[in-house]
Amino acid sequence: MLKVKFIPQNKLIEVESGTNLLKAADQAGLYVEGDCAGKGTCGKCRVKVIEGNRGDPTDAEKEQLSDSELKAGWVLACTRKVEQNCVVEVPLQRDAYTRKTTMPGGVENLEAEPFVEKIAVKLDLPALKDQVADLERLLIKLDRPNLTVNLRELAGLPALLRNNGFSVTVVISGSRLISIEPGDTTDQLYGIAFDIGTTTIVGSLLDLKTAAVLAVAAATNPQNIYGADVISRITHASQVKGGLKQLQDKVIGSANEIIRDLLRQTKIARDHVYEIVIVGNTTMSHFFMGVDPAYLAPAPFIPAYSRALDVEASELGLKINPAGRVVFLPNIAGYIGSDTVGVILATNMDRRRDICAAIDIGTNGELVLVANGKLTACSTAAGPAFEGAQIKQGMRAAAGAIEAVSYVNGDIELSIIGNTPACGICGSGLIDAAAALLDAGLIEPSGRFINPEENPDEVPACFKDRLRRGPGGFEFVLVPGAKSETGDDLVLTQGDLRELQLAKGAIYAGLMILLKEAGISENDLDQVLLAGAFGNYVRKESALTIGLLPQLPPEKIIAVGNAAGDGSKMALASKAVRARALTTPEKVEHLELSTRPDFQDIFVNALPFRNN
């Protein structure tokens, strides 16, 4: 056994010799960035060895790290084994969720109509002339003789009644009596809405009496350690013994930390939270419930279930009232989850009579079209690039991320999140950068950098040193090493542009298929709604410039905030919205793009940047 100390978190653990640093950090409860689940291909799990355990760089390190980085002690945690006691510096986790927790949403306009009811009652005392049993005495008083009650609550009932003069408050969820509390607690009625993304988990605590959002908390989805994308995680779940349980434990653990944070912020007692309503993609739903999504990955992409699941909090180990209910809203298809149901609810797509598309770009991309009152939806393998995955210096929209790039007065201007030197580029920055370089004439509509060696005259003087040949083709220096956090140049590579093209092409092609199937064209669209944090922060003009969106007047393009999360809050706050949510999947026709013979053609046509 060897000792590893992680700084600045100051965690000391013992691991077996040969354990890699990624696993060691996980064991210490620390999160190390990474997209490729330890395959050594993304180059993002860099940590710095401060003391001990120096050794020759691994092949992956030689490929992914610069000489100066290697010299400074940076290693890739996933390829570096612990062979001596050591001290390792782990960069503080850069979470991107601030953006996701601060957007206003639709729940503010709702009238509270909670699914959970609380009723205070004072029972008549039993007597020899009135020997009705405790439970029946309570249910008769409530005039709800058929409520079910679990053994745990029943076991505590006799003493509870007698210790409180037969004055209690009951909590009812549908046909279930879930909790019986001493005295009158009707003023304490809370629920939590979760939006469980592949990358980010957000929880919102609501006062169910008023539908007011009292607190929001979020975390990076710790399943990340098993890969940034759902396919990597499904592979881990089906191929590693106990893998499914690991994935479930990660997400349940994270949800519990968010719950703890929400309760701390509001000083609300755990037992007064009676309900959790969740949206998430179909894979996240399966992992959360501990159901193997193995058959989602290969064609024909079949989930184990699509209905909403409604289970007891204690069954999942969620730390609200143990008898509280946890409702994961229904999925529409294997790659169109309840997050899309949330988008539909929050944007009223299921009730609109105009022609409107909603695009939700998270780690995956889902599209919904309503036309003539008919809903269709498809999913595209689009997302991870916009969360920073597969982009050389990509990162989530956290502190240090280049979030906006513009071409102004012949120069490139950058905006960085937070008061800190840049360390990478996030999705909105990526789109902006491509649009700006298109505007500057440095990128051809095909997506290629112009060749500065062959066409030196086309490169403005101020960009001469910045457009250069890199290890994988040409690249553009966004931030020189002198100004970056790491000391290395931050660049946009030809590879990054290709990833961006594939992602934006997939989304655009998906939209075209939906329009084609509905027998309309992009000009018929009354509105295009951009859902999700990314949709909220992306600049419409840049999205139009690179051809991510159809060429519509910008006023028709509307950012609607975190619509998926709003949907979960609305379904938590209102039983009418909840009922709508449960029937939404049957109203949506799912188009499986892989069955469309026309998809590849439309997709390839959608790859070029259109610089209007």
DSSP element (H, E) containing 97: none
User: Alpha carbon 172 to chain centroid distance?
Assistant: 31
Residue 87 interacts with a second copy (CB under 8 A)?
A: no
Region binding a second copy by CB under 8 A among candidate stretches 12-20, 295-303, 455-463, 602-610: 295-303
Two tokens, residue 485: 């956090």
What would you report as the CA-atom Rg of the chain, rounded to the nearest whole angstrom? 27
Residue 135 interacts with a second copy (CB under 8 A)?
A: yes
Residue 52 interacts with a second copy (CB under 8 A)?
A: no
Residue 294 interacts with a second copy (CB under 8 A)?
A: yes
Q: Which positions from 104 to 133 touch a second copy by CB under 8 A, shown as an x/- string?
A: ----------------------xxxxxxxx
Report the nearest approach of a second copy to the CB of residue 316 (Å): 8
Identity of the residue, 7 or 135, whose beta carbon is nearer to a second copy in the bound complex: 135
Residue 97, CA distances (Å) to 102, 193, 216, 221, 397 in order: 9, 15, 10, 10, 8
Q: Which positions from 272 to 291 touch a second copy by CB under 8 A, shown as an x/- string?
A: -----------------xxx
Q: Which of 271, 301, 451, 587 binds a second copy (CB under 8 A)?
A: 301
Identity of the residue, 71 or 129, whose beta carbon is nearer to a second copy in the bound complex: 129
Residue 505, CA distances (Å) to 114, 204, 434 in order: 42, 34, 14
Contact call for residues 292 and 243 (beta carbons, < 8 A)? no
Q: Give the bridge partners for 371, in sequence order.
A: 374
Please tell me the distance from the alpha carbon of residue 492 to that of residue 431, in angstroms, as a whole number: 11
Total residues contacting a second copy by CB under 8 A comes to 43
Residue 140 interacts with a second copy (CB under 8 A)?
A: no
Q: Which of residues 147-166 bind a second copy (CB under 8 A)?
A: 151, 154-155, 157-159, 162
| Strands 365-371 vs 374-380: parallel, antiparallel or unpaired | antiparallel
DSSP element (H, E) containing 445: none
Residue 239 interacts with a second copy (CB under 8 A)?
A: no
Longest dimension (CA), the chain: 104
Q: Which of 91, 197, 203, 334 binds a second copy (CB under 8 A)?
A: 334
Q: Which of 92, 212, 240, 299 binds a second copy (CB under 8 A)?
A: 299
Please tell me the distance from the alpha carbon of residue 405 to that of residue 428, in angstroms, as a whole number: 9
Q: Which of 295, 421, 522, 526 binds a second copy (CB under 8 A)?
A: 295
Residue 592 interacts with a second copy (CB under 8 A)?
A: yes
Identity of the residue, 89 or 592, whose beta carbon is nearer to a second copy in the bound complex: 592
Extended beta strands in 154-199, E state: 167-173, 176-182, 190-196
Residue 307 interacts with a second copy (CB under 8 A)?
A: yes
Please tell me the distance from the alpha carbon of residue 231 to that of residue 332, in angstroms, as a whole number: 18
Contact call for residues 227 and 37 (beta carbons, < 8 A)? yes
Residue 589 interacts with a second copy (CB under 8 A)?
A: no
Binding site for a second copy (CB under 8 A): 126-136, 151, 154-155, 157-159, 162, 289-292, 294-295, 299-307, 309, 311, 315, 331, 333-334, 590, 592, 594-595
